[in-house]
Structure 1
Amino acid sequence: MYLKKNGFTLLELMIVVVIVAILAAIAIPSYQSYVRRTNESMAMQEMQQIAIWLERYKARNFSYKGANPPRTDTINIPTYSTNKLCSGGTYGGTFTIQLCEKQAGGSYSALKNSSIGQSWAMRSETTDPNNYTLLLTSSGLRCKNKASSNVTFETCGTGSENW
């Protein structure tokens, strides 16, 4: 009499493990790429909203002097705070936007502490080393670079792309 055994053989189990590993090897990098693109888009959106606010401020006050953009409500972010370089905020823990103005002598300061108030530059740096660092200026420069050390408040350096 033949008894049928229930269960899986080791070979069947190994085939399932290999199939799951192959699917994970394809899905995980694809998901990471999706998250990077999402974070980059969020940073661009926030920078553009701040730029719009700054242009409205200049239209009312004839300069950017004293400008301190409020919190934007597209995502929950803290209000601007003064850091070691200029005013900025951390957005969802994924990127930091710094808003500065170049002063006489080449130093940078927050617009709210500005003595000139004729231009601004925004730099967005991400916590993900595989994502872009972005630059947006009042003169219309929009560039990005994966090497964050190449991105200053004036240029994106070598290897940059426009956005």
Structure 2
Amino acid sequence: MKKSDRGYSLMEMLIVVSLMATLLGLGVPSYKSFIRKSNRAEAVSKLLEWANRQAMWRADNPSYNLGVTPLADTYYVYSMTATASTYTLTATAQGSQASDKEDGISCSVITLNQVGATGPSGHEVCWSH
């Protein structure tokens, strides 16, 4: 009588499970990095929009709009420090976004001022990726 083997052997199952664990181990950090970059791109977009609105305000008024209410979302808290002739917009990462780095440089605090300066030297990478 011939015995038919049906199903997978233990060795085959162990190989499949180990391959899946390896792929998962490589994929999760890449996915988290992608999500952080996406959240940072949204924060940069909000800062640029805010700066554009300040420029439009200043075109019609003798000073920047000092009465702006700070904003917050899930990943960043936005704030502004301003005088009549200068301002600095800041997006400060919170939660899991606070560990955001690009090329070894922390991107947890993103700034923009009235002349377009984006923070300390080296932080340009936070804006370009």
TM-score tier by shorter-chain length is: 0.7 to 0.9
What is the aligned residue count? 116
Native 8 Å contact 1:95 1:125 kept in 2: yes
Distance 1:129 1:140 in 2: 23
Q: For residues 77-110 of structure 1, give each alpha carbon's deviation from its aligned partner in whole angstroms, at most 9, with x where no partner exists.
A: xxx3xxxxxxx2112x011111112xxxxxxxxx
Structure 2 regions of 5+ residues with no counterpart? 101-106
Q: 1:96 is matched with which residue?
A: 77
Deviation at 1:140, TM superposition (A): 2.3
TM-score, normalised relative to structure 2: 0.81
Q: 1:60 is matched with which residue?
A: 60
Percentage of identical aligned residues: 21
Give 1 or 2: higher helix fraction.
2
Amino acid at match of 2:123: E
Q: 2:104 is matched with which residue?
A: none
Distance 1:41 1:65 in 2: 25
1:123 maps to 2:85: no
**Moved >3 Å (runs of 4+):** none
TM-score, normalised relative to structure 1: 0.65
Native 8 Å contact 1:57 1:67 kept in 2: no
Equivalent runs, 1:7-156 vs 2, <5 Å? 7-68=7-68, 80=69, 88-91=70-73, 93-101=74-82, 116-127=83-94, 128-131=97-100, 132=107, 133-143=109-119, 156=120
Distance 1:140 1:12 in 2: 58
**Larger RCO (CA within 8 A; separation ≥ 6):** 2
